[in-house]
Amino acid sequence: QVQLVEFGGGSVQAGGSLRLSCAVSGYTYSRFCMGWIRQAPGKERERVGSIDTDGATDYADSVKGRFTISKENAENTATLYLEMNNLKPEDTAMYYCAADMTRRYFCNPLLRDNYWGQGTQVTVSS
22-58 in b/e burial notation, b at 16+ Cβ within 10 A? bebeebeeeebbbbbbbeeeeeeeebbbbbbbeeeee
Mean of all residue pLDDT scores within the chain: 96
The pLDDT value given to residue 109? 96
Beta bridge partners of 116: 98
Contact 37, 43 (CB under 8 A): no
Contacts of 1 (CB under 8 A, 6+ apart): 26
SS3 helix, strand, coil % of the chain, rounded to 5?
Answer: 0, 50, 45
What's the average model confidence in pLDDT over 71-100?
Answer: 95
Contacts of 49 (CB under 8 A, 6+ apart): 35, 36, 57, 58, 59, 60, 63, 67, 69, 82, 109
Q: Which amino acid is at 114?
A: N
The pLDDT value given to residue 105? 96
Q: Which amino acid is at 112?
A: R
Q: Specify the higher pLDDT residue, 75 or 4.
A: 4
pLDDT at 73 over 90: no
